[in-house]
Amino acid sequence: MDSSGVRVRGARRTREALLRAAWQALATGRAATVGIAELTRNAGVATGSFYNHFEGREELFAATIAEVVSELARTLDDAVSCLEDPADVVRAQFRAFAEAGVSRPDFAAAMTAEGYRILGAAEIRRRLFAPIRAGVAASRFRIHDSGAVMDLVDGVVLAILRTSQRPPGAAGGWVDALARQVVALMEQATGPAGYAVSEDHAVCVERDGARHPLVGQGLDLLAGVAAKD
């Protein structure tokens, strides 16, 4: 067996173990207080090995946050990949946060603990603002303060993530209703209402190896229909 290949794989496993330990510290709200000795102990690696990968704990946590951001960006992209209507995209993004929170409790906990540090990352900010900008350009949304709207979106996302950590099923219908209310607010933010707020909306479903929009009422109902398709 090639000894250099063994070393490379060993180094990769050590780095991944350290990142997992840092992720757990983020999820439990201990990122600011946990030390390198505890991190390496939780990772199951020698303390000296830490410095082969990171200069200090700040660099480790920065790398961990970058991983969370990249995973979240992929999740958001998948959720809206087949959607064009800005309102559908906003609602699908909220649903993606809820589903990620349920399927990945550690993800939800890390997101909740770090909150705006993750949501404020350029990759995430750009994705969350894109449908709002598109809605304004298409005269679909009436917004006079985009900063205030983004603050609202951030707060809603954190509320969804916290709710997703409660007993199973607690978030489903509530997330759908909250998403409709946020979209309605953006549609009617200033001046007279220009659009009737419909309960119909779309999600992306897999079919024939590609993602397609499925339109209907209630995202929980749509999920059941997509599963049977």
For 92-118, what is each residue's pLDDT tens digit? Answer: 999 999 888 888 888 888 888 888 889
CA distance 39 to 31: 10
3-class secondary-structure state, position 217: strand
More confident site: 130 or 169? 130
CA distances to 27, 36, 114, 184 from 61, rounded to whole Å, are 12, 11, 11, 38
pLDDT over threshold 80, residue 6 = no
pLDDT of residue 108: 84
CA distances to 57, 58, 198 from 201, rounded to whole Å, are 44, 42, 8
The pTM (predicted TM-score) of the whole model is: 0.75
pLDDT of residue 126: 95
User: In the structure, what pLDDT confidence band is assigned to residue 192 with cuts at 50, 70 and 90?
Assistant: very low
Asked if the domains 3-54 and 64-198 are classified in one and the same CATH topology, the answer is no
pLDDT over threshold 90, residue 177 = no
Between 1.10.10, 1.20.1070, 2.60.40, 3.90.550, what CATH number should domain 3-54 receive? 1.10.10
User: In the structure, what pLDDT confidence band is assigned to residue 168 with cuts at 50, 70 and 90?
Assistant: low
- Domain ranges, ordered by start, for the chain: 3-54, 64-198
CA distance 79 to 179: 15
Give the helix ranges, DSSP H, for 53-171.
Answer: 57-80, 86-103, 105-114, 116-119, 122-137, 146-164
pLDDT over threshold 50, residue 209 = yes
Digit-coded pLDDT (tens) for 23-61: 899 888 888 899 999 999 999 999 888 999 999 999 999
Indicate if the alpha-carbon torsion angle 146, 150, 153, 159 is positive or negative: negative
Between 3.40.630, 3.40.50, 1.10.357, 2.120.10, what CATH number should domain 64-198 receive? 1.10.357
Instruction: State the average pLDDT over residues 5-12.
Output: 77
Contact (Cβ atoms closer than 8 angstroms) between residue 40 and residue 57: no
